[in-house]
Amino acid sequence: AISFNNLKMDNWTAALLTGVACIVGYLVVRVKKINSLRQAEEKIKRARNRRDESLQRAEQAVLRYKQSHPTTDSAFILTLSLSELTQQLKEGSLTPEDVLYSYMEKVQCFQQEFNILQSDYKDQGPFKDGLLYGVPVSIKENITFKNHDCSCGVIINLDQPAEKDSVLVQVLKKQGAIPFVKTNLPQGLLSCDCSNPIYGQTVNPHNPQKTSGGSTGGEGALIGGGGSLLGIGTDLGGSIRIPASFCGICGFKPTAGRLSSQGVCPTYRGQKSVLSSPGPMARDVDSLALCMQALLCDHMFSLDPTVPPLPFNMEVYRTTKPLRIGCLENDGYMHPSPSMARGVREVKALLEQAGHTLVPYHPLKMDEIFPELMVKGFLADGGTISSCLCQHEGSLWNFHIIHVLGMICFIFRSVPELWKQHAAVEDYIQETIAHWRSCNIDVLLCPVIGPAYNLFYCTAISYTVVYNLLNFPAGVVTVSTVTAKDEEELKHYKGCYQDMWDKLFKEAVTGGEGLPVAVQCVALPWQDELCLRLMKEVEQLVKQSKK
């Protein structure tokens, strides 16, 4: 009996100790999570305080300048195109300070409405011989600017200010530009929306119920609203072109490698299937070309020897010879919205009237390569890195979707599998180039997604991401606005597959009457100037048609 009772006591003690250990373990985990959340909240508070303090300093600087320069006509300055502005700056009829403080004042107006992130400007004396002398330039938040964070909208990246400027910022300064503001982006970058837990939501300058797009949505909102006339963004899947389409401006994704990516921070490094590229955004195509000309200089080639030393070819950009243009209205994977398709048809007619030859073009195997090459390329790690980044920080829905999709469907289980996928990408690029040449086309005209989505939607990027996969230069030009007829036709939209994604796309673009409509122009790798030339042609023809 004594032995039995002792045995019972031992079991009871063991159970009690196990229970206590479980409770202690739970409490430890709970305390760690609470501490982690508290630390995240403190980081967010510090980041917002830094933003607010810089805004206050900028506001005070603007007031001092206006008081000492009461005759400065800021309203007039804000109406000037980039070419007009650079001319007046070089002539001396305007000073860099006149221009800078006019745009800084405009940014103050946009801060509350569009959620723009302000950085400090310190007068370092812009280089007067530069192509961008005295031009204020806005910068996407993930491009390093000395003493400022590059969070990518992720809390864990806060409180790590950059030790030096990115190569692009250094070159901009060398060319006389004045980087003066950093702009918002979505959490983790991979989104068609523009919201993160640090700085919140950025909205469309034409309709606050719509998104500015992503991931370069802060640039799209600021330039589209008149608060900047030139900005630098990054494009992985359409991150320059989608905000340009949504906000009614121009945006250009160069061939990856044409511009330096040193100091341009991705969400995670090492992904090689779908290539990212920095590029310019502006109100017109000439501004994009001027920015590319300024960046493609000996200073950039010296700072980053991995960039091929190819200066901007102005002769190609200015050529007027007729082009043979491929025309794509539907990629067969995602049916375009009525306004997307109409935009392409109207521009096709204008190009034909101008003497260009338009021929049908259809991309290869979109239903196969979108999930197998593009999506798997994005999520080759099964969402592991995105999971680590968003842990403990109240992640937004788009980051959770990326992680879950990666875990369920797209993880590569071995290095040979990953290499096989890389080889398939290489094969698809060569097949597409051969197909392009069999069509005997110089460039391609095709849709870009639009109009601007309702808030919190992220869907339908096949029209843009394919050119990141192929590494073809691509740009966007605004050509029209959504009509009442477009909205009526949208009611009957079914899509290609009549599935959840088609339904989500229809919901996303509903209610877009009056919003911008854009088209996309594409060229073969390293023919960036030819792509810009088609964009310029489209821009001019559309402008002439409206007279």
Q: What is the mean pLDDT of the chain?
A: 90
**CA separation, residue 223 to residues 212, 227, 247 (Å):** 11, 6, 8
Q: Which of 267, 356, 263 has its CA nearest to residue 303?
A: 263
Q: Which amino acid is at 470?
A: L
Q: Give tens-digit pLDDT for 368-393.
A: 999 999 988 888 877 777 766 666 56
Per-residue DSSP letter, 264: B
Alpha helices in 391-527 (DSSP H): 397-405, 415-438, 462-470, 484-490, 500-509
Identify the pLDDT of residue 190: 86
Long-range contacts of 335-338 (CB under 8 A, 24+ apart): 335/493, 335/494, 335/495, 335/496, 335/502, 336/447, 336/463, 337/449, 337/450, 337/451, 337/486, 337/490, 337/493, 337/505, 337/509, 338/485, 338/486, 338/487, 338/489, 338/490, 338/493
Whole-angstrom Cα Rg for the chain = 25
- The answer, yes or no, to whether residue 3 has pLDDT greater than 50, is no
Q: Which of 281, 218, 282, 226 has its CA nearest to residue 103?
A: 226
Q: What's the CATH class of domain 44-312?
A: alpha beta
Identify the pLDDT of residue 400: 53
- The answer, yes or no, to whether residue 258 has pLDDT greater than 70, is yes
Q: Which amino acid is at 400?
A: H
Q: Give tens-digit pLDDT for 404-444.
A: 555 555 567 788 998 999 999 999 999 999 999 999 999 99
Alpha helices in 271-329 (DSSP H): 285-295, 298-303, 314-318
Identify the pLDDT of residue 4: 40
Quick one: what percent of the chain has pLDDT higher than 90? Answer: 76
Confidence of residue 58 (pLDDT cuts 50, 70, 90): confident
Identify the pLDDT of residue 90: 93
- The answer, yes or no, to whether residue 402 has pLDDT greater than 60, is no
Question: Between 393 and 542, where is the model more confident?
Answer: 542
On whether the CB atoms of residues 312 and 291 are closer than 8 A, the answer is no
Please give the average per-residue pLDDT across 125-154, as a whole number: 91
How far is it, in rounded angstroms, from Cα 89 to Cα 185?
31
Identify the pLDDT of residue 384: 72
Identify the pLDDT of residue 154: 94
Confidence of residue 1 (pLDDT cuts 50, 70, 90): very low
On whether the CB atoms of residues 516 and 449 are closer than 8 A, the answer is no
Question: Pick the catalytic residue: 138, 191, 239, 480?
Answer: 239
What angle is formed at CA 139 by the lines to CA 148 and CA 398, rounded to 5 degrees?
85
Q: Which amino acid is at 44?
A: I
Question: Between 496 and 30, where is the model more confident?
Answer: 496
Peptide bond into 215 cis (omega under 30): yes
- Count of CB atoms within 10 A of residue 162's CB? 17
- The answer, yes or no, to whether residue 106 has pLDDT greater than 60, is yes
Question: Pick the catalytic residue: 215, 273, 277, 337?
Answer: 215
On whether the CB atoms of residues 59 and 108 are closer than 8 A, the answer is yes
Largest Cα separation within the chain, whole Å, is: 107
Confidence of residue 281 (pLDDT cuts 50, 70, 90): very high
**CA separation, residue 84 to residues 77, 91, 431, 544 (Å):** 10, 11, 44, 20
Q: Give tens-digit pLDDT for 158-176.
A: 999 999 999 999 999 999 9
How far is it, in rounded angstroms, from Cα 270 to Cα 379?
11
260 included as an active-site residue: no
Confidence of residue 453 (pLDDT cuts 50, 70, 90): very high
On whether the CB atoms of residues 114 and 203 are closer than 8 A, the answer is yes
Peptide bond into 451 cis (omega under 30): yes
Per DSSP bridges, beta strands 200-201 and 117-118 are unpaired
Question: Which of 45-59, 111-125, 188-202, 454-468 is predicted least confidently?
Answer: 111-125
321 included as an active-site residue: no
- The answer, yes or no, to whether residue 330 has pLDDT greater than 50, is yes
Confidence of residue 34 (pLDDT cuts 50, 70, 90): confident
Place of tokens 């960036």: 528
User: Which three-class secondary structure state does DSSP give residue 139?
Assistant: strand
Q: Give tens-digit pLDDT for 471-525.
A: 999 999 999 999 999 999 999 999 999 999 999 999 999 999 999 999 999 999 9
pTM here? Answer: 0.93
Identify the pLDDT of residue 410: 53
387 included as an active-site residue: no
Question: Which of 4-18, 193-207, 262-276, 309-323 is predicted least confidently?
Answer: 4-18
Question: Pick the catalytic residue: 74, 119, 138, 140?
Answer: 140
Q: Give tens-digit pLDDT for 189-223.
A: 989 999 999 999 999 999 999 999 999 999 999 99
